[in-house]
Amino acid sequence: MGTSLKPKHSDLPVAPRPHQRPDPNHADCRGVASVLSRVGDKWSVFVIMMLSDGPKRFNELKRMINGISQRMLTLTLRGLERDGLVTRTIFPTIPPRVDYELTDLGRGLQQPVKALGEWAITHQEQIASARTRFDERNGG
């Protein structure tokens, strides 16, 4: 008599493996993706970094963030405000003064954003070299 390798109970549920990615259609994934698209956007990263040492005016931010257009800064600040990461305070002066400042929630992002920015600065040459090697190998 031989040993059968056929399973006796083929209707057992399969347990999820810890290393498997969650179903991309799952609501949690969509929610996290939405948050990451905001906080991972390059302009949002720059704005959060620039606001980390206190409130700034719009034109001050625009001067500090090289390459950002007025429209893109407006959209970025509006999105960060909508997500509760930045507050906008209007002072009743002539002309009106508007300051942007990180909220407590936004300040919680300072450390990870700063770490990401520092990592990018430290490794930008290595990444540029890797891109060049890749492009040379792949005809790009």
* CATH at residue 63: 1.10.10.10
- Does residue 56 sit within a domain? yes
Structural domain containing residue 117: 27-137
List, for residues 50-61, the tens digit of each pLDDT value: 999 999 999 999
- Does residue 13 sit within a domain? no
Q: Please tell me the distance from the alpha carbon of residue 72 to that of residue 101, in angstroms, as a whole number.
A: 18
At residue 128, the pLDDT reads: 95
- Does residue 4 sit within a domain? no
- Does residue 57 sit within a domain? yes
Question: Can you spell out the DSSP letters for 39-90?
Answer: HTSHHHHHHHHHHTTS-EEHHHHHHHSTT--HHHHHHHHHHHHHTTSEEEEE
Confidence at 9, pLDDT banded by 50, 70, 90: very low
Domain count, the chain: 1
